[in-house]
């Protein structure tokens, strides 16, 4: 069984406990605030980096569109260069 004297604490001991417990909570809250500030800074940096990456992706997309357009143009030129002599020979056979 529990000894009744052990169940009860003095007012002074309770105040000491309460003071130290509240102080620990206050310290923990201060630590959490500091961590939140650090996280906000990290999120801001990530947003800046994402904005830069978005710009880079737009530039790369434009470059790829230009490359595809150039390749299509060169494809048509190549087809004309290769097929034009063939068509000329084919037409000249019948004329």
Token pair belonging to 42: 């990290």
Give the pLDDT of residue 1: 47
Average pLDDT, the chain: 86
2: alpha, beta or left, given left = phi > 0 and alpha = psi -120 to 50? beta
Host H or E run for residue 10: none
CA 10 to chain centre: 56
Place of tokens 């201060």: 30
Q: Identify the residue with better confidence: 62 or 84.
A: 62
Say if residue 87's pLDDT is above 90.
no
Q: Identify the residue with better confidence: 9 or 21.
A: 21
What are the sequence ranges of the domains in the chain? 9-94
Q: What is the mean pLDDT of residues 14-26?
A: 78
pLDDT one-digit tens code per residue, 38-83:
999 999 999 999 999 999 999 999 999 999 999 999 888 888 888 8
Q: Confirm whether pTM is higher than 0.95.
A: no
């Amino acid at each position: 069984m529990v000894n009744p004297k052990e169940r009860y604490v003095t007012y002074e001991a309770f105040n000491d406990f309460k003071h130290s417990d509240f102080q620990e909570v206050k310290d923990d809250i201060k630590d959490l605030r500091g961590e939140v500030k650090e996280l906000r800074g990290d999120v801001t940096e990530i947003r800046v980096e994402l904005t830069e990456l978005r710009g880079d992706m737009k530039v790369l997309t434009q470059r790829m569109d230009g490359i595809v357009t150039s390749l299509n143009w060169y494809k048509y030129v190549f087809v004309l260069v290769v097929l034009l002599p063939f068509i000329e020979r084919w037409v000249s056979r019948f004329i």
